[in-house]
Amino acid sequence: MPDRIIHIQPLTVENFQPFGEVISCTGHSFFHINDAHTERYHALVETEIHGEAKAGISIFRNIKVTTLPLKISMLERHPAGSQAFIPMQGQKFLIVVALNSNEHADQPDLEQIHAFISDGSQGVNYRAGTWHHPLLTLEAPSDFAVIDRIGTGHNCDVFQFGDDMLIQP
């Protein structure tokens, strides 16, 4: 039996703010471009890039469906750059995040793990150094546009838990 149960919350700008930004048109202003055929929601988030690197755009295709409840045993973080995930097919996905521990800067605060669900029109941008679980989708295959740091040097820390945690609605 897992030590801790984490309940999934709806993803909102307010409750995700400690971890990064929600990428969505909702709640943002726009201006018209292309002879008023397009609404531009400009600069919703900024990409963080540290060191000798640049921003890259990739596609991640998740080929495995996540079923709930779900046991997790690890989190990862990217200390040298932010990482944005934008669903390309309007699919819902799970977001599991934690802040750094106040006692140990090199590990997540296991008492403050949060789980959110995107409504399919929302993406997320994890700030550099935000602990998160790798991509979890409720449908497969699921394609995501990913904007993150492309460069040399260490940019992925992994933390394995002592005991599994359970994610459930």
Give the pLDDT of residue 127. Answer: 97
> What gap in Å lies between CA 140 and CA 89, rounded to an integer?
11
pLDDT tens-place string over residues 76-86: 999 999 999 99
Domains within the chain, CATH numbers bracketed: 4-168 (2.60.120.480)
What is the rounded average pLDDT for all residues in the chain?
95
- SS3 of residue 16 by DSSP: helix
Low-confidence ranges of the chain (pLDDT < 70): 1-2
Give the pLDDT of residue 153. Answer: 93
Give the pLDDT of residue 1. Answer: 53
Give the pLDDT of residue 107. Answer: 95
Give the pLDDT of residue 2. Answer: 58
133 contact partners, CB below 8 Å, separation of at least 6: 72, 74, 75, 76, 94, 95, 96, 97
Give the pLDDT of residue 4. Answer: 87
State how beta strands 131-132 and 83-87 pair. unpaired
Give how far Cα 62 sits from Cα of 114, 115, 141, 160, 164, Å. Answer: 21, 19, 6, 22, 22
Give the pLDDT of residue 102. Answer: 86
